[in-house]
Amino acid sequence: MRRRWLNLKKIAETIHGEVQKEIERIVGRYYFARSNGESFDLESFEIAIRSSMHGIGCKILEMFVNSDGGGYSDRTIPCENGHSYEFIEFRDKKLLTVLGSVTVKRAYYYDRDCRNGYCPKDRTLDIEGTSYSSGVRRMMSKVGAYRPFGLGHEDLYELADIRVSAKEVERISQMVGDQAEAFHAAEATASLSDNMIPISPVPKLYVCIDGTGVPVVKKETAGRKGKGEDGQAKTREAKLGCVFTQTSVDKEGRPVRDGESTSYTGAIETAEVFGRRIYQEAMRRGMDSAEETVVIGDGAPWIWNIADEQFYGATQIVDLFHAREHYWNVAKSCFGQDKDKLYISGQRNAARSWMMASRKRLLMPSIVAHSCRETIKRYVNGRSVILRKTRDGCGMRISGKEVSL
Ligand SMILES: [Zn+2]
Q: Where are the domains of the chain?
A: 2-65, 204-318, 321-404
pTM score, two decimals? Answer: 0.61
Find the 87 Cα to ligand 1 centroid distance in Å. 14
88 CA to centre of ligand 1 in angstroms: 15
Q: If you measure from the C-alpha of residue 117 to the centroid of ligand 1, how many angstroms do you get, rounded to a whole number?
A: 10
Contact 24, 56 (CB under 8 A): no
Ligand 1 centroid distance, CA of 90 (Å) = 20
Give 113 Cα–ligand 1 centroid separation in angstroms. Answer: 5
The answer to whether 38 and 77 have CB atoms below 8 angstroms apart is no
Question: Quick one: average pLDDT of 378-405?
Answer: 48
Ligand 1 centroid – CA 126 distance (Å): 22
Q: Is 250 helix (H, G, I), strand (E, B) or coil?
A: coil
| Neighbour count for residue 39 (Cβ, 10 Å) | 7
What pLDDT score was predicted for residue 339?
62
- 281-322 residue pLDDT tens: 999 888 988 888 988 888 788 998 999 899 998 888 877 777
CA of 259 from ligand 1 middle (Å) equals 49
User: Of 337, 307, 291, 322, which Cα lies nearest the Cα of 403?
Assistant: 322
Higher pLDDT, residue 218 or 171: 171
Amino acid 178 reads: D
The 10 Å Cβ neighbour count of residue 5 is 9
Question: What confidence score (pLDDT) does residue 86 get?
Answer: 95
pLDDT of residue 106: 95
Mean pLDDT of the chain: 81
Q: Distance from the CA of 78 to the center of ligand 1, in angstroms?
A: 8
The larger pLDDT score, comparing residue 193 to residue 127, is at 127
| Cα(81) to centroid(ligand 1), Å | 5
pLDDT at 98: 96
Q: Which contacts of 146-151 are long-range, i.e. CB under 8 A and separated by 24 or more positions?
A: 148/215, 149/173, 149/217
Q: Tell me the CATH class for 204-318.
A: alpha beta
The CA 128 to ligand 1 mean position distance, Å, reads 19
For 114-142, what is each residue's pLDDT tens digit? 999 999 999 999 999 899 999 999 999 88
- 281 — phi, psi (to 5°)? -65, -45
Cα(114) to ligand 1 centroid in Å equals: 4
Cα 50 to ligand 1 centre (Å): 47
Instruction: Please give the distance, rounded to the nearest whole angstrom, from the Cα atom of residue 398 to the centre of ligand 1.
Output: 68
C-alpha 67 – ligand 1 centre gap (Å): 29
Residue-wise pLDDT for 66-114, tens only, equals 988 888 888 999 999 999 999 999 999 999 999 999 999 999 999 999 9
